[in-house]
A and B are shown apart, each in its own frame.
Chain A
Amino acid sequence: MDTAGSQIILSIRDVTKSFPGVRALNGVSIDVRRGMVHGVVGENGAGKSTLMKILSGVYKKDTGTIVFDGKTIDHTTPYESMHRGLAIIYQELNLVNSMSVGENIFLGRFKEMKGMRGTHAKARELLDSIGCKVSTTKLVSELSVSTKQMVEISKALSFQSKLIIMDEPSTSLTGEEMSLLVKIIHQLKAQGISIIYISHKLEEIFDFCDVVTVMRDGNVIDTKPRGEFTRDELITKMVGRTIENEYPERSRQVGETLMEVKGINTRKLHDVSFTLRKGEILGLVGLVGAGRTETVRAIFGADRVRGHKVTIGGKPVTIHNPKQAKDAGLGLIPEDRKLQGLVLPFSVEQNISMASIDRFTRFGFLIKSLEKGIGARHVKSLGIKTPNTKVAIKNLSGGNQQKCIVGRWMEIGPSIFIMDEPTKGIDVGAKYEIYLLMKEIAEKGGAVILISSELPEVLNMSNRVLTIYDGRITGEFDPEHIPADVIMRAALGLGGAS
């Protein structure tokens, strides 16, 4: 390797980690050199985040050795790793929203900073050093995602970090914000700081990473200097199979208009209107917080909305709560499975039957045999892996839990199925089955609204894509014919055909 000249700052050897039922890391070895930007790519579930959490001390590794800056690290805590000079910037940012920028940078170090004045003065210096102008007394809750990242980077610098791990930092950045981040990365590199840059966006990897490691299913597939990778090679190694069989063939039976939504206005949404056709999978693309989830929640009656109009099959419907949505033929797989989808202490059967209680109720009484049938039917048809239907749902894996929620709605047979991040945190096989289900619903004359943070998923599944930026619909695209970067530009609010 041509990078062999510089010194190794972090050496990971044969690290394994298992969670109940899943082997998340399978003998992973990576070397990171001083002053390099080391890209780590892989699909969701490849083990990137698990590895980083082990490095920072959130998880404990099962076996293997980690040597950082010449010292073997066996057991660590996030606090210790930060003090050693290993900082990590997570996707879900690690800041206290109700506190000021300055105090967040020096969280837990009030005494070292000699009080409030020292805290803010030192914070100012750090922010200035990366060209961030935000006031140190501003509350973090008032900042944009990009500024929050700057605060995190300043926090990392405050520990004299030798290695900064950035976990998918670009997910919620606009183009301009991204170029600022790249500038800072180059600046850090020049100071001899190493960076592990986790991403699944190949452009970024080829843009500024020096070395690239590809991970898949808990294994390191390859580590090479960027120049030695071709784009195709990287993709093949990432997915481990040809792209074609990752998604089923697009359904092509789009018919007449099924639902029409007009003028959704809330504090976050501005005049959102669109139509949905029979047999269609409609993708909503946008950054986290752009209004994707808010839009579907508004349609589903989960949040309060003023003066919008919804017609289904030509007839106007009133939806003020999820019950009315359900009666109008809508179904929802919520964004957060655990908090919004599952009733954890309850059984698989009761979780599946909970939307369709009316169907096994006679004169107010539950008919248990009918309920049992509903549970058993969906466990079978969806291939849910569970010892029996009376097991508490908390004992199932993420994919199987998600299938239970799908089954919950399949029993109702909604004509419009809203899926908000339906494949988040579930394994590849289960994902494909959920894709097939979506297609089946569409082909039976229903329609699906799909939200996903994984752009390829939306682009490959949808017949039509709407981009949302800052609470407004910024474009409508045919993903089969319009290149992904045009769609992404619209989703980033950079203008586009509409």
Chain B
Amino acid sequence: MNKVGFILKDYLVLLMILGLALVTAIIQPKFISPANLNNIMRQFGPLILVALGMTFVIVGGFIDLSVAGTINLVAVVTITLIDPLGQVGALIAGLVIGSICGAINAGLILTSGATTQAEALFITFGMSTVYSSLALIYSGGSTFHFWDLKEMPNMFEAIGAGSVGPLSVSFVIFLGALALLWIFHTKMAAGRAISLTGGNKTAARLSGVPIERSIVLIYTIAGFMAALGAIVLFSRVTTASPVIGAGFETNAILAVVVGGTTLKGGKGSVLRTVMGVLLVILLNNCLNLLGVSSYMQWAARGAILVFAIWLDNRKEVQGNQL
């Protein structure tokens, strides 16, 4: 295996991002207009937050399909709590609910002794259904709007549409979350424990690394970040429906894997996920500008996911031959 090949594989995502941006800019000059760039920055919001949380789950050697359900539940509960609890109270309640959803997932996985990604996949999918149905039952299937509230929730409006200098508020939230999670993962003992858990659960456990704590942490972080994503999401559209989170779990996994975090666990980084999300957003943006239907975009994302998983697997196979 030569060096060029390695670099190509490792930075394939980056190259793809650049290539895609270049091609779109040539075909559709509107791409580099300030309005569109601003648009891209705004899109960074919900998906990246959810994907950052998902990164930990995948680095820890598991997977979480329940984030869509969590987003649905948090969105409808938070918006309806704004009137009784006030904005800050509702925000906190939303984040707590998301974390609890994650903790429940972790509890189920721990108590059942599930150790494989496959087991986690099925259990969290089941839980996604449960959370989604709770959202539907709680909301009675109806959609809630900001303008139906007693007064306009200015804090959530700011989260959705406000700016800090040249940056949107949601972008600032993203930067903050990224910094905290990056420090947590690379600089803190608990973050290292998560990586070790993903690298080899048995070896980590036999070395006294608290893998149970890692499992609780990764799912709670994923739940918390999903809740944060849900809040940014409904703030942006000023509306919360009980099906608002559909598709987020697969998009988040897509972003993580496309970024280059391996599904085998152990190796990965939140920074890689940022690249992955950038690629997914750019792709959507390009396809939009190029006039591709949204359904075809869905298919394109599926195709890229399949390709990225395949590539991840190839990398692993070749790495082992060393």
Known pairs A342-B200, A345-B266, A346-B266; A334 contacts B206 (CB<8 A): yes
Cβ-based interface call for A107 (8 A) = no
Cβ-based interface call for A62 (8 A) = no
CA distance in complex: A341, B209 (Å): 12
Cβ contact within 8 Å between A346 and B189? no
CA distance in complex: A273, B169 (Å): 64
**A302 nearest in chain B by CB position:** B206
List 11 contacting pairs A-B, 8 Å CB cutoff, sorted by A.
A322-B206, A322-B208, A334-B203, A340-B202, A341-B203, A341-B206, A345-B199, A354-B204, A354-B209, A365-B188, A394-B320
A408: B residues at CB distance < 8 A? 207
Cβ-based interface call for B301 (8 A) = no
Cβ contact within 8 Å between B208 and A355? yes
Most B CB within 10 A of own CB, among A327, A343, A350: A343
A361: B residues at CB distance < 8 A? 189
Known pairs A326-B208, A355-B208, A395-B322; A340 contacts B192 (CB<8 A): no
Cβ contact within 8 Å between A343 and B200? yes
Interface residues of B: mostly helix, strand, loop or mixed?
helix
Cβ-based interface call for B93 (8 A) = no
Q: Footprint of A on B, CB under 8 Å?
A: 187-190, 192-193, 195-196, 199-200, 202-210, 264, 266-267, 319-320, 322
Q: Footprint of B on A, CB under 8 Å?
A: 300, 302, 321-323, 325-327, 332, 334, 339-346, 350, 354-355, 357-358, 361, 364-366, 394-395, 408
CA distance in complex: A365, B184 (Å): 8
Chain A proximity of B28: nearest CB distance (Å):
41
Cβ contact within 8 Å between B187 and A339? no
**B208 nearest in chain A by CB position:** A326
Set B187, B193, B200: member contacting A344, Cβ < 8 A? B200
B192: A residues at CB distance < 8 A? 350, 357, 366
Known pairs A343-B200, A345-B267; A354 contacts B207 (CB<8 A): yes
**A360 nearest in chain B by CB position:** B189
Chain B proximity of A356: nearest CB distance (Å):
9
A365: B residues at CB distance < 8 A? 187-189
Besides A344-B199, A354-B207, 11 new A-B residue pairs in contact (Cβ under 8 A), listed by A number: A322-B208, A323-B209, A327-B208, A334-B202, A339-B200, A343-B199, A346-B196, A357-B192, A357-B209, A358-B189, A361-B189
CA distance in complex: A28, B246 (Å): 65
Known pairs A323-B208, A365-B187; A343 contacts B322 (CB<8 A): no
CA distance in complex: A345, B264 (Å): 10
CA distance in complex: A340, B209 (Å): 13
CA distance in complex: A264, B273 (Å): 48
Chain A proximity of B322: nearest CB distance (Å):
6
**B190 nearest in chain A by CB position:** A364
Chain B proximity of A426: nearest CB distance (Å):
18
Chain A proximity of B196: nearest CB distance (Å):
6
**B197 nearest in chain A by CB position:** A343
A300: B residues at CB distance < 8 A? 206
A341: B residues at CB distance < 8 A? 203, 206
Chain B proximity of A266: nearest CB distance (Å):
16
**A334 nearest in chain B by CB position:** B206
Cβ contact within 8 Å between B204 and A343? yes
Closest 9 CB pairs of A and B: A326-B208, A343-B199, A355-B207, A361-B189, A323-B208, A343-B200, A340-B202, A354-B207, A322-B208
B188: A residues at CB distance < 8 A? 364-366
B202: A residues at CB distance < 8 A? 334, 339-340
Cβ contact within 8 Å between A322 and B207? yes
CA distance in complex: A334, B204 (Å): 12
A366: B residues at CB distance < 8 A? 187-189, 192
Known pairs A325-B208, A326-B208, A354-B196; A342 contacts B187 (CB<8 A): no
**B183 nearest in chain A by CB position:** A365
B210: A residues at CB distance < 8 A? 323
Known pairs A364-B189, A365-B188; A343 contacts B208 (CB<8 A): no
Known pairs A323-B210, A357-B209, A395-B322; A343 contacts B203 (CB<8 A): yes
